[in-house]
Chain A
Amino acid sequence: DAGITQSPRHKVTETGTPVTLRCHQTENHRYMYWYRQDPGHGLRLIHYSYGVKDTDKGEVSDGYSVSRSKTEDFLLTLESATSSQTSVYFCAISDRGDSYEQYFGPGTRLTVT
């Protein structure tokens, strides 16, 4: 299994509070991704990174920001959590960024009350 961990694994927070999810990899892969999974929508890309300090938006980036200050860590921040951001969040990594398999972390279940 690829060395990807996500923390926390579960979190309950209140509307309006900031939340940061962490993805940590030990594979030294260049590309990292954040997805959210919701019923009826599958997984949707939030943000991705193609190198340290190189990030870009995905299809559902509103209300989220990311940072990558070192290869192994990719942080996802909900600036002011809303109930619509209740979801399961997955981090993924890839060494090539095209055609190749993405390895997924175990997911973080976030509930915003």
Chain B
Amino acid sequence: AQTVTQSQPEMSVQEAETVTLSCTYDTSENNYYLFWYKQPPSRQMILVIRQEAYKQQNATENRFSVNFQKAAKSFSLKISDSQLGDTAMYFCAFMKYGTSYGKLTFGQGTILTVHP
């Protein structure tokens, strides 16, 4: 079974600064996908970024980028130029490649607050 751990229950950052959220995972699988989801106060779950484990290049989506370290089983999310709208809970999630029916395993979440 896979486990996902987010060791930072809460983080805060000033507007326009950069913040990094940590995520580690444990799996015996070699092929898998990793995700970061955002949940703002509206409670809606929103996909932020996705990484395929077989790709060495780190994924980037505008101000969001990841640092994927496969050997260390680490998958951190960097948010650059933080904005007030980035205030949310962020979840790291794991999906096994192939016949997993798309089942996601989530971490506990990190609450990020962006201060003006």
Number of interface residues of A (CB under 8 A): 28
B:5-27 near A, CB below 8 Å: 6
Identify which of A44, A96, A99, A106 contacts B106 (C-beta below 8 A).
A44
Asked if A99 meets B97 with Cβ closer than 8 Å, knowing A31-B102, A48-B103, A106-B44, the reply is: yes
Contact of B102 with A100 in the complex, beta carbons under 8 Å: yes
Residue B84 lies at the interface, judged by CB distance under 8 Å to chain A: no
| A33 → chain B closest CB, angstroms | 7
**Which residues of A lie under 8 Å from residue B95 when comparing CB positions?**
98-99
Q: Please give me the residue from chain B that is nearest to A54 by CB atom.
A: B101
Contact across chains for B98 and A88 when beta carbons are under 8 A apart? no
A97 contacts chain B at the CB level, 8 A cutoff: yes
Q: Tell me which of A41, A48, A58, A106 contacts B43 (CB under 8 A).
A: A106
Q: How far is the CA of A43 from the CA of B95 in the complex (A)?
A: 13
Are A98 and B100 interface neighbours, CB within 8 A?
yes
**Chain B interface category by residue count:** 20 to 34
Measured between beta carbons, the chain A residues less than 8 angstroms from B98 are 98
Q: Judge whether A62 is part of the interface by a CB distance below 8 angstroms.
A: no
- A56 lies within 8 A of chain B by Cβ: yes
Asked, given contacts A104-B44, A106-B43, whether A98 binds B97 with beta carbons under 8 Å apart, the answer is: yes
- Please give, as numbers and ranges, the residues of chain B lying within 8 Å of A43 by CB-CB distance: 45, 91, 93, 104, 106
Complexed CA–CA distance, A84 and B16 (Å): 41
**Min CB distance, B92 to chain A, in Å?**
9
Which residues of A lie under 8 Å from residue B4 when comparing CB positions? 42
Tell me whether A45 and B109 are in contact in the complex, defined as CB-CB below 8 angstroms, given that A90-B45, A101-B47, A101-B50 are known contacts: no
8 closest cross-chain pairs (CB), A and B = A42-B106, A104-B45, A97-B102, A43-B106, A101-B47, A42-B108, A94-B102, A99-B33
* Contacts from A to B (Cβ < 8 Å): 31, 33, 35, 40-45, 48, 50, 56, 58-59, 88, 90, 92, 94, 96-102, 104, 106-107
